[in-house]
Amino acid sequence: MNILKSAVVAFSLAISMGTFSTTAVAYEEGRTTFSPIDAINMTVERAQAAKAAIGAGADAMEVADLIKKASDTTKEINANDVVDRNRQRANGHFKKARRAAKKGDLEGATKHLDKGIEGMEKLKGML
């Protein structure tokens, strides 16, 4: 009888796990989702806005906040493992740019922003 109970429990568990798709459940109602290309374009636009702020003579903390927004936007880029690895590399440049901006090194921040933007642009070819 115990074997029969175990078999019934295992069978019902297997059936219940297969009745709905996990990707269908992963979607949250009301959450804004972006295609990878749109997310890359938004990231590049925000990084270029940070560069423009540096050129306009903005405060270092303002620039750091703009870079943080660009860095946060990279989290919306969902494609495959290769794209994700390269996204992390480009995001690393944004983090370095933010650190440099916080220290007041806006020239260094600009260099890292350029490398980050270049990395983001390369992602478009990987999709």
Q: pTM of the prediction?
A: 0.72
- For residue 100, the model assigns a pLDDT of 94
From the list 115, 113, 122, 43, the residue with the least C-alpha distance to 75 is: 43
Rounded to 5°, the CA angle 30-34-40 comes to: 150
Query: Could you tell me if residue 4 is inside a domain?
Result: no
Query: Could you tell me if residue 19 is inside a domain?
Result: no
Query: Could you tell me if residue 107 is inside a domain?
Result: yes
Domain that holds residue 116: 34-126
Query: Could you tell me if residue 75 is inside a domain?
Result: yes
Residue 35 in tokens: 């295609």
**pLDDT tens column, 58-73:** 999 999 999 999 999 9
Query: Could you tell me if residue 7 is inside a domain?
Result: no
Provide the mean pLDDT of the chain: 87
Q: How many domains does the chain have?
A: 1
In the predicted structure, residue 88 carries a pLDDT above the cut 90: yes
Read off the CATH number of the domain in which 46 is found. Answer: 1.20.120.660
- What percentage of the chain carries pLDDT values higher than 70? 88
Query: Could you tell me if residue 53 is inside a domain?
Result: yes
**pLDDT tens column, 6-25:** 888 888 877 777 666 555 55
Query: Could you tell me if residue 110 is inside a domain?
Result: yes
Residue 38 in tokens: 């749109």
3-state secondary structure 51-108: HHHHHCCCCHHHHHHHHHHHHHHHHHCCCCHHHHHHHHHHHHHHHHHHHHHHHCCHHH
Q: What is the average pLDDT across 73-84?
A: 88
Query: Could you tell me if residue 22 is inside a domain?
Result: no
Within 13 Å and on the Cβ side, how many CA atoms surround 80? 6
In the predicted structure, residue 104 carries a pLDDT above the cut 70: yes
